[in-house]
Amino acid sequence: MIVPLVLALVTLAVAHPGYRDLMPNGYSVPNPCGADTWQAVGHYDPYHHTIAKNQFGKDFAAAAHIWTETLCKTDSDGDGKTNGEELGDPACIWNVGDRPAGSASGHPGICEPVGSAACSNQAFRCGCHGNQCVGR
Ligand SMILES: [Ca+2]
Q: Are 89 and 101 in contact (CB under 8 A)?
A: yes
CA–centroid distance, 109 to ligand 1, in Å, is: 7
CA–centroid distance, 51 to ligand 1, in Å, is: 21
- Of 29, 7, 126, the C-alpha closest to 83 is 29
The pLDDT assigned to 135 comes to 42
pLDDT of 78-136, one tens digit each?
999 999 999 999 999 999 999 999 999 999 999 999 989 989 888 788 876 555 554 43
DSSP label at residue 15: H
CA–centroid distance, 1 to ligand 1, in Å, is: 51
The pLDDT assigned to 131 comes to 52
Q: Are 119 and 113 in contact (CB under 8 A)?
A: yes
CA–centroid distance, 71 to ligand 1, in Å, is: 11
pLDDT at residue 13 tops 60: no
12-46 in b/e burial notation, b at 16+ Cβ within 10 A?
eeeeeeeebeebbbbeebbebbeeebbbbbbbbbb
CA–centroid distance, 62 to ligand 1, in Å, is: 17
User: Which residues lie at CB < 5 A from ion ligand 1?
Assistant: 75, 77, 79, 81
Tell me the H-state helices in 40-130: 55-62, 69-73, 83-86
